[in-house]
Amino acid sequence: MALENHITKAVNVLRSRICDPKFIFSNDSPDSNYSKLKFMISSSVTEACNNSILLLGPRGSGKNAVLELVIQDLLQQYPDSISVIRLNGLLHSDDISAFKEMARQLCMEHQLLFSKAASFDDNSQFMVAMLKECGLAHKTVIFVLDEFDLFAKGKQRLLYSLLDAMQSITSQAVVLGISCRLDADQLLEKRVRSRFSHRKLLFLPPSMEDSQSLLVRMLTLPIDSSFPHDYAVEFNKNVRVSFLLRFKETLNKYLNIDSSVKDLLRFLFCAVSHMDLQTGFLSRENFEVAFSSIQRHPKLEFLRTDCSELELYILVCMKSLELKEQSLCNFNSVMKEYKSVHDSFQTSRNACLRAFEHLIHRELICFTDNRGQSLSVEFRPVKLLISPAELHQGIGANNSCPVS
């Protein structure tokens, strides 16, 4: 009972580490993005100047998490001279809701009464006035614009008015754009771009060595009172020793496919959740199971297990039509082909039509036009969404496939 208890506890600790971005990125080597970003922001806070920075990098490379860490540190360092406004391109990409949200957060930050009914104009004027006031009070406003590229759609009025307000001497603000589009600054209009200071921080996926050391760090249990000493030591030894010998191979295989930090975490999460609760140690099998459960081939899986014989026939017929270089095919031409391939034609048209619809439903084939309703299903042209190689592999692996 006691043993089980701390094994569950260990799983819990590992899982909460995986789900907690702060733990993952909390290492500060001098030339890491963390220290660079911290230096930039804190200098503009202390020197009371304006700044704008873009954080670029693929999804899941920890842009947001690092920024969060930096902001937290700065809030501790200068509790009175920073206020943070967070906007997300997914939520506030239209100007009206963006200004509204900005006004709401400014109000909350400064204990002001926020009026829901305020118009777009009111809100933007309020923002400019607030910036001025904050500048006079030597308070830096940090604007975090997540999904920055989405703000660059349309008229870019938000970006323009924000950056334009920052041009005045009194204001004191930092605009941080986070985007996974590396060309995010090219999306800006000329008037916006000229007001933007082109500082960019690039977030790259970690190297193989880095991710390996990260992995070891993640999987090491703390040796203190929370766990029985023997267990923790044993667990850590197990991780360190067996990692070098056994996990490495699977891990490298995985990192060749997905190498961002988030993907690594996903992999780790699967491995940890497959941990054997009896022994309480991570084994090589856990990693292999995790690897296979993450690396999915939905179409092949469908062909292998879900596809009925009739549906396979239809797919093969469509493929052979494709080989004959018929530019268009629809249900009727597939049926014609099916009749010619399959001599003993006993299945009715209706059954075939339903099988055909099932394939469309599972998105192995799709309509080439999306005009819809003007024609019934039988006549609408379709195309295969699966490559011949995949089809071949799938048919080979299908267990209900007739020998031919």
Partner 1 sequence: MDKDKTPQLPRRMTRSSTSSSVSTSNHVVAAEVNSLEPLTVNDLLVVGDPISLDDIISSFPGRSSQIREIMRLLGPLNSPMLPLFVYGGPSTGKTSIILQLFRHLNRPLVYSSCRTCYNHGILFESILNQLLLHRKNAANGYSNAKRCERPSDFVNFLREALTNVVNNLKKSENSISNKMTTKGKIGNMIYLVFDNFQLVREWEKSSTILPLLFNLYDMLKMPEVGLIFISNTSPDTFYSNMGYVEPVPVYFPDYTEGDIRQILLRNQLNQKLYSSFLDVALHSFFRITSQVGQLSATLKPLYEKYCEPLSDKGKGVAHNSEMNLRLSTHIKPHISSALNEIFKISSLASTEAKTCKEEKLKGKSRRSEQSEELGSLDFHMSTCAKYLLISAFLASRNPATLDASLFDSRGGSDNRKRKRKPSEKALERKETLEEELLMKGPGTFPLERLLAIFQCLVSVAEDSSDDDEQNNNALGVQSGNGSLMSDILLQLSSLCNANFIFKGRSCPIEGSTRYRSTISEDLALKVARSLKFPLSKYLYRS
Binding site for partner 1 (CB under 8 A): 8, 11-12, 15-16, 18-21, 59-60, 64, 68, 88, 90-93, 97, 100-101, 108, 111, 180, 262-263, 265-266, 269-270, 273-274, 293-294, 296, 298-299, 301-302, 305-306, 308-310, 328, 330, 332-333, 336, 346-348, 350-351, 353-355, 358, 361-363, 373-376, 378-379, 381, 399-400
Q: Looking at beta carbons only, is 157 or 299 nearer to partner 1?
A: 299
Q: Which is nearer to partner 1, 167 or 373 (CB)?
A: 373
Residues 6+ away with beta carbon under 8 Å from 78: 42, 45
DSSP 8-state symbol, 198? -
CB of 135 to partner 1, least distance (A): 25
For partner 1, give the closer residue by CB, 241 or 366.
366
Cβ 43 to partner 1 shortest distance, Å: 27
Which DSSP symbol is given to 329? B
Q: Is 111 left (phi over 0), alpha (psi -120 to 50) or beta?
A: left
The alpha carbon torsion through 68, 71, 72, 75 (nearest 10 deg) reads -160
**Least distance between partner 1 and beta carbon 375 (Å):** 5
CB 221 within 8 A of CB 10: yes
CA distance 241 to 220: 12
Q: How far is the CB of 146 from partner 1 (least distance, A)?
A: 8
- Least CB distance from residue 59 to partner 1, whole Å? 5
Q: What's the min distance (Å) between Cβ of 100 and partner 1?
A: 8
Structural contact between residues 153 and 93, judged by C-beta atoms closer than 8 angstroms = yes
Element (H, E) at 14: helix 2-18
- DSSP result, 40-79: HHHHHHHTT--EEEEEE--TTSSHHHHHHHHHHHHHHHST
Nearer to partner 1, 32 or 293 (CB): 293
- In whole angstroms, the minimum distance from the beta carbon of 335 to partner 1 comes to 9
Q: Is 280 helix (H, G, I), strand (E, B) or coil?
A: coil
Rank residues 320 and 333 by Cβ distance to partner 1 and give the closer one. Answer: 333
Between the alpha carbon of residue 108 and those of residues 16, 103, 104, 118, 145, the distances in Å are: 30, 9, 6, 15, 18
Cβ 276 vs Cβ 7: under 8 Å: no
Please identify, using beta-carbon distances, which residue of 246 and 362 lies nearer to partner 1: 362
Q: Which is nearer to partner 1, 17 or 38 (CB)?
A: 17
Nearest approach, Cβ of residue 197 and partner 1 (Å): 27
Answer yes or no: are the C-beta atoms of 24 and 218 closer than 8 Å.
yes
Nearer to partner 1, 47 or 363 (CB): 363
CB of 326 to partner 1, least distance (A): 9
Choose between 297 and 392: whose C-beta lies nearer to partner 1.
297
Question: What are the DSSP calls for 134-192, one per residue?
Answer: HHHTT-EEEEEEESHHHHTSTT-HHHHHHHHHTTSSS--EEEEEEES-TTGGGGS-HHH
Identity of residue 372:
G
